Amino acid sequence: MGALDTVHTPQMDLRALSSYLARNVVPRRSAPRRLARFLGARWRFRASVGLLAAAGFSFVARAEATIVWEGKEVAAWPDLPAPALVAKDGAQFAQVTAPLFPHPSGVVHGLTILVDFSDQAAAYTKTDVDAWLNQQGFNGFGLKGSVRDYYFGQSMGKVDYQNEIHGFYRAKNPKSYYQGGSGYARADELWAEVVAALDAEVDYSKFDNDGDGKTEAISLLYAGDEGTFGQGLWPHAGGSNEQHDGVRLSRYMMTAMNNKPTNYVFAHESGHMLFGWPDLYGVGDYCIMANRGSDTNPVGINDMFRADQGWITTVDIDATTNARLASTPDGAVYRFLNPARPTEYFLWSNLENQQEWVSIAGAGLLVWHFDDGINGNNPPEPLQLAVVQAGGSRKLGDTTWPSPGSAATDLFAKGGKSELSSQTQPSTSWNNGSPSSLRIYDISAPGGTMEFSVGTGPLPPSNGGAAGSAGSAGSGSAGSSGAGSGGANGALGGAGSPGSGGAAGSAGVPTNSAGGGAANTSGGASSSTGGAAGGSGGGVGGGAVPVAASDAGCSCRLGTQDRGGHSALLGVCMAAWLLAGRRRASRSA
């Protein structure tokens, strides 16, 4: 069954339906006790076969298993340390500053071992695997890049994940043997068999990337298809106590080669293995750790995970912030912390449905709500990491694997829902029901740069756009004073050109204030006689303030700005003097 196939089978008998669910449908899972910090849950199958068979159903294609620890499925690595809470300089509250997850960086060396069986040969070669995992710009098998390309792009060049390929190793038993047994017991058996057999060939210590005595990335690719959900060799990431070459092989993942390579599965399981990320139930298509979408061009990693890794910049907004801001894909992500409990926060950024996100139904600001106080993503219960759907529904969060996994109404933008606050639906209230002071409003249309305002007070004058255009003179009268907004470096509006028979327009007056967005006042008053008024001064500069602009509002620019202000003031005075003289001459006539 293909990655995007759906099934409508109300005529199936219960035995066939049960078999189908076991093989193809990701189960509902519950969280009776905390196993780990992020999605601490033990998972169980809770679908009602009788109700599904009676009602008919439609399911997204199978997704991959989660993490296996000591032979059992868990939602997150139980051995990850809890994050530390430390005081942020100048803040009134504690803020999480330690990463939630492991964060390998630079060149990350992985090992991939190829396994085939007496009853199952591989469908493609070791050379093909090497190209699929490592070749930059790879486009074989219909893929949009290699696995290395995927992580290099998502990390903004901070992670270069390269795999050394070994094999094929011929397993001692046929594949049918390893696909049997109870749970993942025979997968564990194959794992121990393979790493022992290759001990003389492989130096496992090369794959301890951070020198902590543990390997981070060993992958076992087996010939043939994935098999049966939750049993045998079904794709999963696992923990191990195997010791070789002085290191513990603590993290590995196992997945199928299938008839051709697929980027989704390998990248998804690598997310578990390398970065410790859990499966994300109830968030639809908005992360590779969630729904299984395209195998050839999988969606990206959510910006909460990316910010935690330090791959993108986090900009903190608080109750005192009143500003016009801008967001670009892969640019800064904005965050609003709960001052009473900073492990709960809202986070938002610009998502365009292009490139890896082309399958998403809409575009705009995607808003997340994270609350570490909630014990797991367990739909339909409140989620630890949830999409705030702009349309006001909880269609994603009510379903483990939502289908469809995205809608245009999920994102905030002009023409749809262009404001989010504690007074809107959905709202920015905290999970305990108390209102937050977060207000995001006047959100622009989707695009490569989206603008929006935050805060509950007035916006400061703009200092972020390009210099205003010069005021031009009218025919026979003084030109109006050009009041251009300051540019990124406080550039001045230029002087107006002389009109036909009239005086030159006065120079534009720049603004000096920090912050962005407020419109500047118009140019000087127009002449009442002697022809049409002069052209207005420079228009409003682009109001949004690029967060990364180091000299936005920089005090070192004020000297130049002040001199320009004096020159402009002199021009205004001269224009007023000429106008007064014309009026006196008119009265005497």
pLDDT in tens, 211-264: 999 999 999 999 999 999 889 999 999 888 999 999 999 989 999 999 999 999
State the alpha helices, DSSP H only, in 282-430.
Answer: 303-309
Spatial contact of 329 and 351, defined as CB atoms under 8 Å apart: yes
pLDDT at residue 67, rounded to an integer: 63
Structure tokens given for 58: 């439609």
Mean pLDDT over 299-317 rounds to 96
Q: How far is CA 93 from the centre of its chain?
A: 26
Q: Band of the pLDDT at 476, cuts 50, 70, 90?
A: very low
Residues 563 and 80: their CA atoms lie apart, in Å, by: 58
Tokens matching residue 252: 């590995």
Among 393, 347, 404, which Cα is nearest to 370's? Answer: 347
Per-residue pLDDT at 98: 67
Using a cut of 0.75, tell me whether the model's pTM lies above it.
no
Per-residue pLDDT tens digits for 257-297: 999 999 999 999 999 999 999 899 999 999 999 998 899 99
Residue 3 in this model has a pLDDT that exceeds 80:
no
Supply the pLDDT for residue 284.
Answer: 95
For residue 107, give the H/E element and its range.
Answer: strand 106-116
% of the chain with per-residue pLDDT over 70: 62
Angle between the 126-134 and 147-154 helix axes, to the nearest 10 degrees? 10
> Given a cut of 50, is residue 77 above it in pLDDT?
yes
Both tokens of 272, joined, read: 């578990």
In angstroms, rounded to a whole number, what is the distance separating the alpha carbons of residues 48 and 61?
18
Residue 68 has pLDDT above 90, yes or no: no
Whole-angstrom Cα distance, residue 242 to residue 579?
91
Instruction: State how beta strands 218-222 and 106-116 pair.
Output: parallel
* Residue 534 pLDDT class (50, 70, 90 cuts): very low
| pLDDT at position 298 | 96
Burial label for 333, CB within 10 Å (0-12, 13-18, 19+), is buried
As a whole number, the mean pLDDT across the chain is 74
CA nearest to 530, candidates 581, 471, 588, 470:
581
In this prediction, residue 121 carries a pLDDT of 98
The pair of three-digit structure tokens given for residue 136, joined into one six-digit string: 């930059």
What Cα–Cα distance (Å) separates residue 353 from each residue in 186, 331, 399, 407, 408? 41, 15, 23, 11, 10
Q: How far apart, in whole angstroms, are the C-alpha atoms of residue 546 and residue 385?
A: 28
Distance separating alpha carbons of residues 351 and 331, to the nearest angstrom: 10
Give yes or no for a contact between 41 and 378, defined as CB atoms under 8 angstroms apart: yes
Amino acid at 151: Y
| pLDDT tens digits, one per residue of 340-352 | 999 999 999 999 9
Residue 406 CA to residue 409 CA, distance in Å, equals 8
**CA pair distance 162, 311, nearest whole angstrom:** 18
Q: Which of 67, 65, 114, 73 is nearest to 251 (CA)?
A: 67
Distance (Å, rounded) from C-alpha 236 to C-alpha 269?
Answer: 7
- Contact predicate 346/439, CB 8 Å: no
Token pair in block for residue 486: 């300051």
- Please name the helix (run of DSSP H) or strand (run of DSSP E) that holds residue 159, with its range, or none: strand 159-170
What is the total residue count of the chain?
A: 589
Q: Which of 537, 543, 557 is nearest to 491 (CA)?
A: 557
Whether the predicted pLDDT of 138 surpasses 90: yes
pLDDT of residue 503: 38
In this structure, the number of other CB atoms found within 10 A of the CB of residue 570 comes to 12
Asked if pLDDT for residue 355 goes beyond 80, the answer is yes
pLDDT band at 359 (very low <50, low <70, confident <90, very high): very high
Q: Which residue has the higher pLDDT, 102 or 578?
A: 102
Specify the DSSP element, H or E, that contains 154. helix 147-154
- Higher confidence at residue 360 or residue 70? 360
